Chain A
Amino acid sequence: MTDDTIRRVLDAHGKLRVPASGLDADADLYAAGMSSHASVNVMLALEDAFEVEFPDELLTKQTFCTIAAISAAIGTLAAVPA
């Protein structure tokens, strides 16, 4: 459920070279074509989709480097189902 929403956000904002549905949860999103600036848009769209706000300490490249990492980060925040 969470991962599906993350993939949807990635398809809309990640500027990936391939559909996010074809990526493993631990595939490197930056290697798949996501730029730093695209990751910013992904971050903002994730906040909207999950109604969460990433705290400053999570605003790093590592937080958004894989679907699994994003999922884990969102899991630590307010558990609002998308």
Chain B
Amino acid sequence: MTDILETGLTPLEEARHGFRRELLDAGLLIASASAGVYGRSATFEAVLTGLDRVLTELTAPLNATALRFPPVYPRADFELTDYIASFPDLSGVVSSFEGGDREHRELLAAREAGERWDGYLTPADVVLTNAICHPLYATLRGRMPAGGGVYDILGWGFRHEPSADPMRMQSFRMHEFVYVGEPDAAQEYRDTWLDKAVDALSGLGLPVTPVAANDPFFGRAGRMLVSEQLRDNLKVELTVPMYGDLHEGTAIASANCQRDHLTAAFGIRTAGGEVAHGACLAFGMERTVLALLRVHGLDVNDWPLDVRARLAL
């Protein structure tokens, strides 16, 4: 298949395309017509499953409540997250057809004529989940128990950022361990589990570096949010050098203080009645698998024995 994505590239882009091509040739990822939308092979999934067990064992002391949500959630909750204000370019909202036969006939005529038919659709009451912890916050309205709560969330996220870099998928899984409760405890949770995540990922042979980071807030309005996030060190990413000296490294996990951003919007309070704070430890599942493939090679049979053992490969 000729790859329409490969034309006029910088060295970094070439390296990304090269890695993508290796993954496709090895059959680990299966390309689709959309950039950043892939199928996964059984081997890829085996590594991901092994990684997930490592993370579950790591976080066992948390006694987290495990919850699983589908990859869509209510538009009304999406409104409360402010996501459309901060990341309009990454959002994905679901639309469907609510007309009758007459409108359907118009849609079919437009489609037959090769015109856009999206205009015949109406926004549905669900959106694609961008951050997999957002559906959780919607379930926590009211008062938290004394000491707060810890939740284990695994699910599919969507970000509209088509890219040839296999590390930047549009549809991917995250495994998050979320604390919601007292502000001091939230900060301590973030710092403690950041260190444990570094140890766990290093134990898999990944050369991770913690880096103060910011979310890709959109536009001029976003600059204000970025300045606050960086100044207060709210987000720390664990990065791995995927493309040598061409790039400073790609995040495979992050530890974040959400403070009261989501809890205030969703009306979540501590046992004492104050606005609760949230913090989370988040692992990009596909990104971490890809980092393992980059570091240890594309043939998992050749990986170091201790890494294979940890991942039960």
Cβ proximity bits A45-66 to B, threshold 8 Å, 1 near / 0 not: 0000000001010011100100
State whether B228 touches A40 (Cβ < 8 A): no
Main secondary structure of the interface of A (DSSP, over half): helix
Contact with A along B8-50 (1 / 0, CB 8 A): 0000000000000000000000000000000000000000000
Taking the closest CB of chain A, its distance from the CB of B229, in whole angstroms, is 9
Contact A43 B221 (CB under 8 A): yes
Counting contact residues on chain B (CB < 8 A from A), the size range is: 10 to 19
CA distance A35 to B263 in the complex (A): 12
Contact B223 A59 (CB under 8 A): yes
B261–A36 CB distance below 8 A: yes
Is the C-beta of B225 less than 8 angstroms from some C-beta in chain A?
yes
In the assembled complex, which residues on chain B have CB atoms less than 8 Å from the CB atom of A61? 224, 227-228, 231
Check: B85 CB closer than 8 A to any chain A CB.
yes
Q: Please, how many residues of chain A have a CB less than 8 angstroms from a CB on the other chain?
A: 13
Say whether A36 contacts B221, CB under 8 Å.
Answer: no
B199 at the interface (CB under 8 A from A): no
Q: Which residues of A contact B225 (CB under 8 A)?
A: 36-37, 40
Which of B85, B224, B225, B228 lies at the interface centre, i.e. has the most chain A CB atoms within 10 A of its CB?
A: B224
Across the interface, which residues of A come within 8 angstroms of B264, CB to CB?
A: 35
A64 contacts across to B, CB distance below 8 A: 224
The residue of chain B having its C-beta at the shortest distance from the C-beta of A33 within the complex is: B264
Bound-state CA distance A54–B225 (Å) is 14
Q: Does B59 contact A (CB under 8 A)?
A: no
B163 lies within 8 A of chain A by Cβ: no
A44 within 8 A of B: yes
Shortest Cβ gap from A37 to chain B (Å): 5
CA distance A13 to B220 in the complex (A): 17
Residues of B with C-beta under 8 A to A43 = 221, 224
A20 and B84 CA atoms in complex are apart in Å by 27
Residues A5-56 near B (CB distance < 8 A): 35-37, 39-40, 43-44, 54, 56
A residues in contact with B227, CB < 8 Å: 59-61
Q: Of all chain B residues, which has the CB nearest A61?
A: B228
- Look across to chain A and name the residue whose beta carbon is closest to the beta carbon of B228: A61
- Cβ of B57 < 8 Å from any Cβ of A? no
Q: Which residues of B contact A39 (CB under 8 A)?
A: 224
Q: Which of B203-247 contact A (CB under 8 A)?
A: 220-221, 223-225, 227-228, 231
Given A37-B85, A40-B85, A56 contacting B231 (CB threshold 8 A): no
Contact status A44-B224, CB under 8 Å: no
- CA A61 to CA B227, docked complex, whole Å: 7
Please name all residues of chain B whose beta carbon is closer than 8 Å to the beta carbon of A56 when the two chains form the complex.
Answer: 220, 223
* A59 to B220 alpha-carbon distance, docked (Å): 8
Complex Cα gap A61–B232 (Å): 11
Residues of chain B whose beta carbon lies under 8 Å from any beta carbon of chain A: 82, 85-86, 220-221, 223-225, 227-228, 231, 261, 264
- Extra pairs beyond A36-B261, A60-B227, A60-B231 (7, CB < 8 Å): A35-B264, A37-B86, A37-B225, A40-B85, A43-B221, A56-B220, A59-B227
| 21 interchain pairs, CB-CB under 8 A | A35-B264, A36-B261, A37-B82, A37-B86, A37-B225, A39-B224, A40-B221, A40-B224, A40-B225, A43-B221, A44-B221, A54-B220, A56-B220, A59-B224, A59-B227, A60-B227, A60-B228, A60-B231, A61-B227, A61-B228, A64-B224
The 3 A-B pairs of least Cβ separation, nearest first, read A59-B223, A40-B221, A60-B227
